[in-house]
Structure 1
Amino acid sequence: MAFLLLTVIYLIFIGLGLPDSLLGSGWPRMQVDFAVPSSYAGYVSMTIAFMTILSALFSPWVIKRVHTKWIVIVSILLSVVGLWGFSISGQYVLLFFFAVPYGLGAGGIDASVNHYVATHYSGAVMNFLHCFYGVGAVISPVIMAQALKYAGWQEGFRWTSYILLGILLICILALPLWRKNEEERDEENVESAGIRDTWKVPGVLPTLIAFFAYCSGEGTCFLWVPSYFAGTKPGLGEDVIASFGSLIFAGLMLGRLISGCISNKLGDRLLIRIGIMVELIGIILVILPVPGYLTAAVGFVIAGTGMGPVYPGIQHMAPANFGKKYSAAVIGLQMASAYVGFTFMPAVFGLLQQELGIGIMPVYLMIFAALNFGMLELTYRTIARMEK
């Protein structure tokens, strides 16, 4: 029974990853159809992420009162509605309407399932969980590429909504599997702290800034990698450009697969440090002035591999760093901070690249990788001082 539940949880995270790379993969064609500037992708992405922030901020209150399984069911349904809505949007402005369920659904799944796994499972399971997120995020650019080749970007969103609907049906059938941990959940959440009290805990603020920095870089990659190749590597076809949206996700998946195998031996902190160093190596490869697209493509995969252990590692450390009393609120705040990065920084980059050119993307990513590293080290030192 426990294995079956874990399988369903992994499937849920495949579903969580499916929508995240669709907009970036389809945008070069969507921009033409809607007749809007390239930076307008950032406004849609910002709306999706803003709704995710709201969902994350309310997650401690919801998690305390509603079991994870029901949060998952409602959240996946919202995601299905958002994807289907994108597929029928004939005007740019309609994307903002359907961005509401699109973002709320993602935030509900992310916060609730991450808290559930951080509380009940090991760091290896957390890394494998986010590896499966990468599976979904790698699949969706391929779906969009095929849709662009044979039908249109609308079908890319529609086909993905059908896959997510299938995952929803499996989750409904699997509802009895969650019963085992229901009593544990009730006992743990009676003493859970709220957002207001959690702000006062030493080390929380720098870890929130670190999460913001990490997701600023990751979100920029999610949205702009295909456009980077379109703007710096002329002569590539639309379907090829769209498929490059999977590069960063392939790296994330590989990084989390490796981390899942070694995390229990190395620990979250060391894995994160190694990961950020690998990320910087990948960014340097992207910067190199080498003809063709292969070196840059490999660079983005390596950067994604380095990013792999950072997100799950930070979240898995929440109960250990701040205690179970604060873990749900810390993870909710982390999610909110993460999606502030997702919300604003890809949009800011969209404006910058219009003025300076899309070639500045690697420098932009490097700044956030350095900030992420610095804030995490500050978090560790703050916690160490409190433990003395």
Structure 2
Amino acid sequence: MKKPGFLLLLIAYLGFISLGLPDATHGVNWPFVRETFAIPNAWLGMILTCTGIGYFSSSMSAGFILNRLGVGALLAGSSLLVFVALTGFAFAPYWAVFLLFAVLLGLGSGAIDTGLNAYAAEHFSTRQMNWLHAAFGVGAMTGPMIATTVLVVTGNWRVGYGAIGFILLLMAGLFFITRHQLDDQPDQSHTADEPDLSGGYQYIFRQSVVWFHILLFFIYTGVEIGVGQWAFTVLTEGRSIDTAQAGLWTSFFWGALAAGRVFFGVVVAKVQTDVVIRLAMWGTLVGTGVFCIDGLPLLSLLGLLVTGFCLAPIFPCLMSRTPQRVGKKLASRVIGIQVSVALIGGVSLPFSMGYIASFFGLESIGVTVLVLVILLVLVHEILMMRTRER
């Protein structure tokens, strides 16, 4: 693998940071958006659903577009879409208009996510892949900070969307200017044995490794978002831990996730990627098992820290392994499928955890996560056995 230049690395890191910027901004602005449009609190789910529809649609087709336009044009156009969407939020006169721009936000974000991951998986090392996903976490933390600062200074939630939109406009310009550097010459490492794409998605879905990766990304994202979304509720309402302490511990989970990606970014340079994934999954199993123990509050904290830290390398390492397992010609489309499936898992599995908890209590959430992690480990072990047999 040719070592990427400093400029390309910088663009990639900025791209992942900008991808994370809008993600958590709705959470800060939502009380004020709800008040402006005089709508129920539960309607936040409508924003997430509309964004998800756009995200799924674009990430499924991004691989097709990527092979024709190149990553530079895809990222420039998609960043421009996100800018338009965020600007639309800032000026939306009605709730229905706001939701239409949520679909547009999903379309742009899904294409950026797929384009960046496909490019990084092919051109960057697994170490850089982990650090790039840590940069996404930086963006996800920075977006709410920008929105909060703007709210304090101006008292207007619309300005916050506009400020983040302006950053995405700058990113669109950067991607456009550097598009020829991003769209490099065909890689000589492609071999004659790699499949052509004449069969489209029918050919892709006949590959058993694709289905294993679909399952892995579906389960992994559901576990990560499920723990992050439900930990605070389990700690406060299920275990009677103080609100401020529970909030701090939940933030520690996300901090451990970001720190883990930096740490494992160093480790994968010396240890095989599959070994890192395996160790991380077993560590996650230990962490979720500890979190399931209700009694000593420190065990809850320890479980969250271990779970977040060990989850960290799984997503970027699996993404990095995709071109090696399916071939570079199929990689961009398969990565698009993986991003789409990850979105579905990130929405459906946390929802299922809450539904199960409505019957069996909040402590069932930890047990559900534990079962999912066991399934994650089993799927990966079967994949490893099948790939060794080839």
TM-score for the superposition, normalised by structure 1: 0.82
Which has the larger Rg? 2
Residue 66 of structure 2 is matched in structure 1 by: 63
Q: Contact 1:77 / 1:165 at 8 angstroms: preserved in 2? A: yes
Indicate yes or no: 2:218 matched with 1:215: no
Q: How does 1:152-301 map to 2 (within 5 A)?
A: 154=158, 156-178=160-182, 181-184=184-187, 192-193=196-197, 194-221=200-227, 223-224=229-230, 231=237, 236=243, 246-284=251-289, 286-289=291-294, 296=300, 299-301=303-305
Residue 127 of structure 1 is matched in structure 2 by: 130
Alignment-mate amino acid for residue 312 of structure 2: G
Q: Which runs of 5+ in 2 are unaligned?
A: none
Bigger relative contact order, structure 1 or 2, given CA contacts below 8 A and separation 6+?
1
In the TM superposition, what is the alpha-carbon distance from 1:311 to its structure 2 partner?
Answer: 0.9
C-alpha distance 165-127 of structure 1, shift in aligned 2 (>3 A): same
Partner Cα distance (1:119, 1:128) in 2: 15
Partner Cα distance (1:182, 1:335) in 2: 25
1:71-111 alpha-carbon deviations (Å, 9 max, x no partner): 11111122223334445557665553222122111211111
Indicate yes or no: 2:52 matched with 1:49: yes
Residues 296-305 or 225-234, more deviating: 225-234
Q: Contact 1:188 / 1:324 at 8 angstroms: preserved in 2? A: no
In the TM superposition, what is the alpha-carbon distance from 1:247 to its structure 2 partner?
Answer: 4.3
Q: Contact 2:219 / 2:376 at 8 angstroms: preserved in 1? A: yes
C-alpha distance 163-42 of structure 1, shift in aligned 2 (>3 A): same
1:170-189 alpha-carbon deviations (Å, 9 max, x no partner): 3344345325x144499899
TM-score for the superposition, normalised by structure 2: 0.82
Residue 72 of structure 1 is matched in structure 2 by: 75
Residue 326 of structure 2 is matched in structure 1 by: 322
Residue 7 of structure 1 is matched in structure 2 by: 10
Give SS of 2:40's match: coil
1:105-141 alpha-carbon deviations (Å, 9 max, x no partner): 1211111121112112221121111111121122234
Alignment-mate amino acid for residue 212 of structure 2: P
Partner residue of 1:114 out of 100, 110, 117: 117
Alignment-mate amino acid for residue 5 of structure 1: L
In the TM superposition, what is the alpha-carbon distance from 1:219 to its structure 2 partner?
Answer: 3.2
Indicate yes or no: 2:102 matched with 1:99: yes
In the TM superposition, what is the alpha-carbon distance from 1:314 to its structure 2 partner?
Answer: 0.9
Give SS of 1:266's match: coil
Partner Cα distance (1:246, 1:147) in 2: 22
1:294-320 alpha-carbon deviations (Å, 9 max, x no partner): 865664444222221111111111122
Residues 270-279 or 144-153, more deviating: 144-153
Residues 261-270 or 212-221, more deviating: 212-221
Q: Contact 1:202 / 1:382 at 8 angstroms: preserved in 2? A: no
Q: Which runs of 5+ in 1 are unaligned?
A: none
C-alpha distance 375-71 of structure 1, shift in aligned 2 (>3 A): same
Partner Cα distance (2:5, 2:63) in 1: 25
In the TM superposition, what is the alpha-carbon distance from 1:58 to its structure 2 partner?
Answer: 0.9
Give SS of 1:264's match: coil
Partner Cα distance (1:299, 1:29) in 2: 34
Residue 339 of structure 2 is matched in structure 1 by: 335
In the TM superposition, what is the alpha-carbon distance from 1:46 to its structure 2 partner?
Answer: 3.1
Q: Contact 2:28 / 2:148 at 8 angstroms: preserved in 1? A: yes
Residues 156-165 or 308-317, more deviating: 156-165
1:334-375 alpha-carbon deviations (Å, 9 max, x no partner): 122212212423344455556666554433332332222221
Alignment-mate amino acid for residue 206 of structure 2: K
C-alpha distance 252-84 of structure 1, shift in aligned 2 (>3 A): farther
In the TM superposition, what is the alpha-carbon distance from 1:197 to its structure 2 partner?
Answer: 0.5
In the TM superposition, what is the alpha-carbon distance from 1:279 to its structure 2 partner?
Answer: 2.7
Alignment-mate amino acid for residue 258 of structure 2: M
